């Protein structure tokens, strides 16, 4: 089973930020990625819709005998992680707790901001995770619904990105936070723009790095690290435009060529 792939699911292209960290930290592991770009964004949807879509993606990847599942979407993590973790016989990781732990490590003032989708912010999942580690922390959550469509369209650099980011995160300006959690896996693609807005004065936390580190520890502890001498074999699936997904994936992952297939999820659920 150690040579089986790791499955990663996301509402769109955002989870590629986790894929990039997985490839860097676990270069021998094969990855199967599924982005539900046709139904992205998940943030404005109901909990029941998000739960249904997350299960459909999970069932799709189960066909490939994955040895671990990473729910890279913060919204899906907040809604469905516990249920899926209890139902699957393999390790299932989310991105919220790793991100919270990383923020607590670097914050000096215990004033932490979180930006995410409306559902993620409304769930208070990050606030619960942060306060479970350190009760005295002050959390400022802010929904930024315009950022996911911006990234999905490939517009994460340039004047439009700067304008939309500034308008979205302006309410955090007077909060005196010293750390900001990018509570959506799409947002790291906008990290340079966000850092520029705050003039480099706060720490920016992307959960991808911590999630990959946690995956590495779990695979090592359970003796499931890939010991094969063969190179990794990655596969990418999307429910939307293959061309757009491929362009963004190649640019972000810095790969000359990747193969993208269409996934049909409509018949897959609990």
SS3 content of the chain, % helix, strand, coil (to 5): 45, 15, 35
Q: Which helix (H) or strand (E) holds 237?
A: strand 235-238
Question: Active site includes 40?
Answer: no
Residue 238: strand pairing partners: 35, 262
Greatest C-alpha distance within the chain: 53
Distance CA 157, CA 159 (A): 7
d(CA 185, CA 74): 7
**DSSP bridge partners of 264:** none
Considering 184, 193, 212, 263, which one is annotated as catalytic? Answer: 184
Cis previous bond, 41, omega within 30 = yes
**Which one is catalytic: 73, 92, 193, 248?**
73
C-alpha closest to that of 154 among 30, 37, 31, 262: 37
What is the rounded CA–CA span in Å between residue 82 and residue 171? 32
8-state DSSP, 180: E
Q: How far is CA 54 from CA 87, 88, 263, in A?
A: 13, 13, 14
Beta strand 92-93 pairing with 68-71: parallel
| Distance from the Cα of residue 197 to its chain's centroid | 22
The counts of H helices and E strands in the chain are 11, 10
Q: Which residues are catalytic?
A: 73, 184
């Amino acid at each position: 089973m150690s040579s089986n792939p790791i499955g990663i699911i996301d509402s769109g292209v955002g989870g590629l930020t986790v894929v990039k960290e997985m490839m860097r930290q676990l270069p021998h592991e094969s990855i199967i990625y599924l982005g539900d770009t046709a139904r992205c964004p998940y943030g404005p949807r109901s909990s029941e819709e998000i739960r249904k879509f997350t299960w459909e993606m999970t069932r799709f990847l189960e066909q490939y005998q994955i040895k671990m599942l990473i729910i890279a979407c913060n919204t899906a993590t907040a809604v469905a992680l516990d249920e899926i973790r209890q139902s699957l016989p393999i390790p299932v990781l989310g991105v919220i707790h790793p991100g919270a732990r990383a923020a607590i490590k670097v914050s000096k003032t215990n004033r932490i901001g979180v930006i995410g989708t409306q559902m993620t912010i409304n769930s208070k999942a990050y606030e619960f995770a942060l306060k479970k580690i350190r009760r005295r922390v002050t959390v400022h959550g802010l929904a930024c619904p315009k950022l996911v469509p911006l990234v999905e369209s490939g517009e994460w650099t340039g004047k439009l990105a700067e304008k939309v980011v500034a308008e979205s995160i302006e309410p955090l300006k007077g909060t005196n936070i010293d750390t900001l959690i990018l509570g959506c896996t799409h947002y790291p693609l906008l990290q340079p723009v966000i850092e520029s807005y705050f003039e480099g004065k706060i720490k920016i936390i992307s959960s991808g790095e911590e999630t990959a580190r946690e995956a590495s520890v779990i695979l090592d502890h359970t003796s499931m690290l890939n010991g094969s001498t063969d190179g990794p074999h990655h596969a990418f699936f999307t429910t939307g435009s293959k061309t757009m997904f491929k362009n963004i994936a190649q640019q972000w992952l810095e790969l000359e060529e990747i193969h993208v297939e269409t996934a049909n999820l409509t018949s897959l659920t609990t």
